[in-house]
C-alpha cells in the first residue's frame, strides 16, 4: 500500500508557538497557569497540559474572578475587553496570539476608527472571529455567504472594509469578494487568510485527487481541519475525519491501494506519525 502524507500537515507556526509558550510557563513553574479557552483545538494536547496542571478558563466571568497567576492568550487571539479584564486584575499575560491574527486585530481597530464598517468573512461562532470582532465596534459584522451580506442591508453610502478569518476557505472567499465587488460600495478588501492555510488546502486537494482513501486528522472542534475534510471529500469520496488512529475503522482502508493523509494546523506530529506508521505497517 502506498501512503502519501501531505508535507504541510500538522502544526502551523502560530499553533506551535502558542503550545511552546505554555510549556515554557510550565517549566518556569512560579505561578498557577491558565489558558483562556483550550490553547488549541486538539483534545490530546489539552489533556496533556491539564495533567501538567494547566487550567482552562472558559468564560469572561471566571476570568474576571481571577486575581493571580499567568493567563496564556491562545493563538486564536481575543478581543480588547479580555486584555482590559486581565490588566485590571493585575494578572500576568503571556500573549500567544498568532501574529497573522494580531495583524487582523490592528486592521479592524484602524479601519473602524477611520469610520469604515468592517465585515469579517468567517464563522461567527469561532473564537478567532469573536476575538477579531472584539477590536471593532457596533458596525463590525460577520458573514460567511453573499446572502448574509445582503441581509445586513448596509447603506450604499457606507464605506466598507472586508477581512477574512485566517483559516477561511480561500476559493470561497474569492467568490464572495467577486460578488461584493460588483456592488456600488466603496470597499477595501484585505485578504487576511494565512498563506499556510491556503497552501495546506491546495496540497490536501491535490493529494485527495490521487488516492482511493483520504484521512484527515484533527480535533473535532478544529475549523481548519473541518475545511480540509470538506475540500478532500469533494476530490475523494472515501474521505475520513479522525482525531487519532483509534478512530479509524480498518475496513475503510483494507482494500485500498493508496491512502492519503493530511492534518489540521492543531494536530501534533506524533499523532500524524502514529497514523502513518499504523496504516503503512498494518494495512
Catalytic annotation, pick one of 92, 110, 128, 274: 128
Of 97, 116, 142, the domain-final residue? 97
pLDDT at 283: 60
Q: Is 87 found in the same domain as 25?
A: yes
Q: Is 71 found in the same domain as 152?
A: no
Q: Is 114 found in the same domain as 72?
A: no
Contact 101, 128 (CB under 8 A): yes
pLDDT at 282: 62
CATH of the domain at 42: 3.40.50.11270
Of 165, 193, 221, the domain-final residue? 193
Residue 266's CB: how many other CB atoms inside 10 A?
Answer: 30
Torsion angle in degrees (nearest 10) through CA of 233, 239, 245, 250: 170
CATH of the domain at 129: 3.40.1010.20
pLDDT tens-place values along the chain, 283 residues long: 899 999 999 898 999 999 999 999 999 877 999 999 999 888 888 999 999 999 999 999 999 999 999 999 999 999 999 999 999 999 999 999 999 999 999 999 999 999 999 999 999 999 999 999 999 999 999 999 999 999 999 999 999 999 999 989 888 999 999 999 999 999 999 999 998 888 999 999 999 999 999 999 998 888 889 999 999 999 999 999 999 999 999 888 988 999 999 999 989 999 999 999 999 876 6
Reported pTM: 0.84
Q: Is 249 found in the same domain as 171?
A: no
- Whole-number Å distance between alpha carbons of 134 and 188: 20
pLDDT at 220: 87
Q: Is 157 found in the same domain as 82?
A: no
- Whole-number Å distance between alpha carbons of 96 and 102: 10
Angle at Cα 29 formed by Cα 28 and Cα 35, nearest 5°? 95
Helix (H) or strand (E) holding 16: helix 13-28
Angle at Cα 66 formed by Cα 15 and Cα 68, nearest 5°? 85
Q: Is 128 a catalytic residue?
A: yes
Q: Is 188 found in the same domain as 107?
A: yes
pLDDT at 41: 83
Q: Is 106 found in the same domain as 189?
A: yes
Contacts of 236 by beta carbon, 8 Å cutoff, 6+ apart? 208, 209, 211, 212, 213, 214, 260
- Domain of residue 218, residue span: 2-10+196-282
- Whole-number Å distance between alpha carbons of 191 and 58: 30
pLDDT at 44: 86
Q: Is 179 found in the same domain as 231?
A: no
pLDDT at 180: 93
Contact 253, 279 (CB under 8 A): yes
- Whole-number Å distance between alpha carbons of 237 and 119: 34
Domain count, the chain: 3
Amino acid at each position: 500500500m502506498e501512503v502519501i502524507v501531505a508535507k504541510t500537515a500538522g502544526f502551523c507556526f502560530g499553533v506551535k508557538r502558542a503550545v511552546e509558550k505554555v510549556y515554557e510557563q510550565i517549566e518556569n513553574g512560579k505561578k498557577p497557569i491558565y489558558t483562556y479557552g483550550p490553547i488549541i483545538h486538539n483534545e490530546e494536547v489539552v489533556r496533556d497540559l491539564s495533567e501538567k496542571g494547566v487550567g482552562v478558563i472558559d468564560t469572561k466571568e471566571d476570568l474576571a474572578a481571577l486575581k493571580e497567576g499567568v493567563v496564556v492568550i491562545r493563538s486564536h487571539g481575543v478581543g480588547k475587553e479580555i486584555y482590559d479584564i486581565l490588566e485590571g486584575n493585575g494578572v500576568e499575560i503571556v500573549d500567544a496570539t498568532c501574529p497573522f491574527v494580531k495583524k487582523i486585530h490592528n486592521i479592524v481597530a484602524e479601519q473602524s476608527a477611520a469610520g469604515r464598517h468592517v465585515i469579517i468573512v468567517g464563522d461567527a461562532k469561532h473564537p478567532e472571529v469573536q476575538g477579531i470582532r472584539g477590536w471593532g465596534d457596533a458596525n463590525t459584522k460577520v458573514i460567511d455567504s453573499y446572502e448574509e451580506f445582503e441581509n445586513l442591508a448596509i447603506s450604499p453610502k457606507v464605506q466598507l472594509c472586508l477581512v477574512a478569518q485566517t483559516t477561511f476557505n480561500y476559493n470561497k472567499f474569492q467568490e464572495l469578494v467577486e460578488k461584493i465587488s460588483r456592488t456600488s460600495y466603496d470597499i477595501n478588501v484585505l485578504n487576511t487568510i494565512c498563506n499556510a492555510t491556503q497552501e495546506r488546502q491546495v496540497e490536501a486537494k491535490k493529494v485527495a485527487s490521487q488516492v482511493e482513501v483520504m484521512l484527515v486528522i484533527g480535533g473535532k472542534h478544529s475549523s481548519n481541519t473541518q475545511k480540509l475534510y470538506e475540500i478532500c471529500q469533494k476530490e475523494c469520496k472515501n474521505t475520513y475525519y479522525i482525531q487519532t488512529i483509534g478512530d479509524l475503522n480498518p475496513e475503510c482502508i483494507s482494500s485500498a491501494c493508496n491512502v492519503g493523509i493530511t492534518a489540521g494546523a492543531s494536530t501534533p506530529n506524533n499523532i500524524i506519525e502514529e497514523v502513518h506508521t499504523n496504516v503503512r505497517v498494518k494495512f
